[in-house]
Amino acid sequence: MTTTELARRLEAEGANPATYDIGHRSYDGVCLLHEGGRWVVLYSERGRDQEPMFASADEAAACEYYLAHVLAQPQYHAVGFFRSEKAAQALRARLEQQGLAVQTGKLLYATNDYRYQVWVMGKDIFAARQLLGSTLPLQDGEDTKFTIWERLRQWLA
Protein backbone atom coordinates (compact mmCIF):
# COMPACT_ATOMS: atom_id res chain seq x y z
CA MET A 1 0.00 0.00 0.00
CA THR A 2 1.18 3.53 -0.74
CA THR A 3 0.29 6.72 1.11
CA THR A 4 -2.12 7.62 -1.70
CA GLU A 5 -3.92 4.30 -1.28
CA LEU A 6 -3.82 4.74 2.48
CA ALA A 7 -5.57 8.11 2.25
CA ARG A 8 -8.32 6.59 0.08
CA ARG A 9 -8.79 3.66 2.47
CA LEU A 10 -9.04 5.92 5.52
CA GLU A 11 -11.62 8.09 3.78
CA ALA A 12 -13.63 5.03 2.65
CA GLU A 13 -13.63 3.69 6.23
CA GLY A 14 -15.03 6.95 7.63
CA ALA A 15 -11.90 8.00 9.50
CA ASN A 16 -12.06 11.60 10.69
CA PRO A 17 -9.33 13.58 8.86
CA ALA A 18 -9.14 16.00 11.79
CA THR A 19 -7.45 13.27 13.84
CA TYR A 20 -4.68 12.20 11.48
CA ASP A 21 -2.26 13.55 8.89
CA ILE A 22 -0.29 11.82 6.16
CA GLY A 23 2.93 13.47 5.06
CA HIS A 24 2.67 16.47 7.39
CA ARG A 25 2.88 17.16 11.09
CA SER A 26 -0.50 17.62 12.67
CA TYR A 27 -1.13 20.03 15.51
CA ASP A 28 -3.10 17.30 17.31
CA GLY A 29 -3.20 13.89 15.71
CA VAL A 30 -1.45 10.80 14.46
CA CYS A 31 1.09 11.54 11.72
CA LEU A 32 2.72 9.38 9.07
CA LEU A 33 5.93 11.06 7.97
CA HIS A 34 8.73 10.18 5.58
CA GLU A 35 11.95 11.43 7.17
CA GLY A 36 15.55 10.50 6.57
CA GLY A 37 14.69 7.53 4.37
CA ARG A 38 12.28 5.96 6.84
CA TRP A 39 8.56 6.07 7.48
CA VAL A 40 7.60 7.18 10.98
CA VAL A 41 4.25 7.02 12.79
CA LEU A 42 3.93 9.34 15.77
CA TYR A 43 1.43 11.35 17.72
CA SER A 44 1.76 15.11 17.76
CA GLU A 45 0.00 16.95 20.56
CA ARG A 46 -0.24 20.72 20.46
CA GLY A 47 2.49 20.68 17.83
CA ARG A 48 4.91 18.64 19.93
CA ASP A 49 5.92 15.24 18.65
CA GLN A 50 5.85 12.24 20.94
CA GLU A 51 8.25 9.36 20.48
CA PRO A 52 7.57 7.39 17.29
CA MET A 53 5.35 4.36 17.81
CA PHE A 54 6.50 2.79 14.53
CA ALA A 55 9.37 3.29 12.11
CA SER A 56 10.33 1.40 8.97
CA ALA A 57 12.07 1.87 5.65
CA ASP A 58 9.09 0.05 4.08
CA GLU A 59 6.25 2.36 3.00
CA ALA A 60 3.73 -0.50 2.75
CA ALA A 61 4.49 -1.71 6.29
CA ALA A 62 4.16 1.83 7.65
CA CYS A 63 0.86 2.33 5.82
CA GLU A 64 -0.56 -0.96 7.14
CA TYR A 65 0.46 -0.06 10.69
CA TYR A 66 -0.96 3.45 10.33
CA LEU A 67 -4.27 2.22 8.89
CA ALA A 68 -4.76 -0.28 11.72
CA HIS A 69 -3.77 2.30 14.35
CA VAL A 70 -6.10 5.05 13.09
CA LEU A 71 -9.06 2.71 12.60
CA ALA A 72 -8.63 1.23 16.08
CA GLN A 73 -9.60 4.64 17.51
CA PRO A 74 -13.26 5.80 17.67
CA GLN A 75 -13.98 8.02 14.66
CA TYR A 76 -16.26 10.83 15.86
CA HIS A 77 -17.59 13.32 13.29
CA ALA A 78 -19.22 16.56 14.49
CA VAL A 79 -22.61 17.03 12.84
CA GLY A 80 -24.20 19.53 15.25
CA PHE A 81 -23.06 22.35 17.53
CA PHE A 82 -25.97 24.15 19.18
CA ARG A 83 -26.87 26.71 21.82
CA SER A 84 -30.13 24.85 22.28
CA GLU A 85 -30.20 21.45 23.97
CA LYS A 86 -33.59 20.89 22.32
CA ALA A 87 -32.04 21.39 18.86
CA ALA A 88 -29.28 18.89 19.67
CA GLN A 89 -31.80 16.32 20.91
CA ALA A 90 -33.96 16.81 17.81
CA LEU A 91 -30.97 16.21 15.57
CA ARG A 92 -29.99 13.16 17.59
CA ALA A 93 -33.51 11.73 17.24
CA ARG A 94 -33.54 12.39 13.48
CA LEU A 95 -30.20 10.64 13.01
CA GLU A 96 -31.13 7.71 15.23
CA GLN A 97 -34.37 7.25 13.23
CA GLN A 98 -32.07 6.65 10.26
CA GLY A 99 -30.20 3.97 12.21
CA LEU A 100 -27.05 6.02 12.74
CA ALA A 101 -24.75 5.67 15.76
CA VAL A 102 -24.98 9.02 17.57
CA GLN A 103 -23.21 10.57 20.56
CA THR A 104 -24.11 13.86 22.25
CA GLY A 105 -22.25 16.06 24.68
CA LYS A 106 -22.53 19.27 26.67
CA LEU A 107 -19.66 21.76 26.55
CA LEU A 108 -19.17 24.66 28.96
CA TYR A 109 -18.61 27.47 26.46
CA ALA A 110 -18.53 30.41 28.87
CA THR A 111 -19.79 31.04 32.40
CA ASN A 112 -23.29 29.51 32.56
CA ASP A 113 -23.30 29.21 28.76
CA TYR A 114 -23.32 25.73 27.25
CA ARG A 115 -23.12 24.31 23.74
CA TYR A 116 -24.63 20.98 22.85
CA GLN A 117 -22.70 18.78 20.46
CA VAL A 118 -23.83 15.91 18.25
CA TRP A 119 -21.49 13.40 16.61
CA VAL A 120 -21.90 10.38 14.39
CA MET A 121 -19.46 7.51 14.33
CA GLY A 122 -17.24 6.22 11.52
CA LYS A 123 -18.94 5.48 8.21
CA ASP A 124 -22.20 6.96 9.47
CA ILE A 125 -20.77 10.33 8.40
CA PHE A 126 -21.63 9.44 4.79
CA ALA A 127 -25.31 8.88 5.61
CA ALA A 128 -25.35 12.01 7.80
CA ARG A 129 -23.96 14.14 4.94
CA GLN A 130 -26.56 12.72 2.58
CA LEU A 131 -29.33 13.50 5.07
CA LEU A 132 -28.08 16.88 6.34
CA GLY A 133 -25.88 18.23 3.55
CA SER A 134 -22.13 18.55 3.37
CA THR A 135 -21.79 21.75 5.43
CA LEU A 136 -21.38 20.27 8.88
CA PRO A 137 -21.63 20.75 11.76
CA LEU A 138 -25.11 22.27 11.75
CA GLN A 139 -25.35 25.24 14.09
CA ASP A 140 -27.94 27.60 15.55
CA GLY A 141 -28.06 31.05 17.10
CA GLU A 142 -25.07 33.38 16.89
CA ASP A 143 -22.81 30.50 15.90
CA THR A 144 -24.56 29.99 12.55
CA LYS A 145 -22.40 30.78 9.55
CA PHE A 146 -24.64 32.49 7.01
CA THR A 147 -23.77 33.43 3.49
CA ILE A 148 -24.53 37.03 2.54
CA TRP A 149 -27.56 35.84 0.53
CA GLU A 150 -29.01 33.97 3.50
CA ARG A 151 -28.58 37.07 5.66
CA LEU A 152 -30.31 39.26 3.05
CA ARG A 153 -33.24 36.85 2.83
CA GLN A 154 -33.62 36.98 6.62
CA TRP A 155 -33.44 40.77 6.75
CA LEU A 156 -35.98 41.17 3.94
CA ALA A 157 -38.42 38.62 5.37
For residue 146, with 0-12 CB atoms within 10 Å meaning exposed, 13-18 middle and 19 or more buried, which class applies? exposed
Render pLDDT for 139-153 as a digit per residue (tens, 0 to 9). Answer: 886 434 444 445 445
Residues 22 and 92 grouped into a single domain: no
Residues 105 and 125 grouped into a single domain: yes
Q: Report d(CA 103, CA 105) in Å as an integer.
A: 7
Going by pLDDT thresholds of 50, 70 and 90, the confidence category of residue 73 is: very high
Residues 13 and 37 grouped into a single domain: yes
**Domains in the chain: how many in total?**
2
pTM of the model: 0.78
Residues 89 and 59 grouped into a single domain: no
Ramachandran angles phi, psi of 7, nearest 5°: -60, -45
Based on C-alpha coordinates, what's the Rg of the chain? 19
Q: What is the mean pLDDT of residues 87-105?
A: 94
Residue finishing a domain among 11, 46, 71: 71
Q: Report d(CA 49, CA 86) in Å as an integer.
A: 40
Residues 135 and 99 grouped into a single domain: yes
Residues 36 and 85 grouped into a single domain: no
- Residue 44 is part of which domain span? 3-71
Residues 67 and 94 grouped into a single domain: no
Residues 110 and 140 grouped into a single domain: yes
Residue finishing a domain among 71, 99, 129: 71
CATH of the domain at 101: 3.30.70
Residues 64 and 100 grouped into a single domain: no
Render pLDDT for 125-138 as a digit per residue (tens, 0 to 9). Answer: 999 999 998 889 99
Q: Is 125 helix (H, G, I), strand (E, B) or coil?
A: helix
pLDDT value for 144: 43
CB atoms within 10 A of CB 110: 7
Q: What is the mean pLDDT of residues 18-33?
A: 89
Residues 141 and 81 grouped into a single domain: yes
Going by pLDDT thresholds of 50, 70 and 90, the confidence category of residue 47 is: confident
Residue finishing a domain among 71, 96, 126: 71
